[in-house]
């Protein structure tokens, strides 16, 4: 179960990190 919680925490951390390149790319595109 601790393994699942760790992956859940990773998912929560990766979601905002995954959204950053998109917003940064859009900012550079404009």
* 1-30 pLDDT tens trace: 677 788 888 888 878 777 777 777 777 777
Query: Domain boundaries in the chain?
Result: 1-30
DSSP state of 23: H
Residue 1's alpha-carbon distances to 5, 27, 29, in angstroms, are 6, 40, 43
Residue 10's alpha-carbon distances to 1, 17, 27, 30, in angstroms, are 14, 10, 26, 31
Q: Indicate the pTM of the whole model.
A: 0.38
pLDDT of residue 1: 64
Place of tokens 């940064």: 24
Q: What is the CA radius of gyration of the chain?
A: 13
């Amino acid at each position: 179960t601790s393994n699942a919680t760790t992956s859940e925490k990773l998912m929560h951390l990766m979601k905002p990190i995954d959204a950053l390149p998109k917003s940064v790319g859009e900012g550079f595109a404009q």
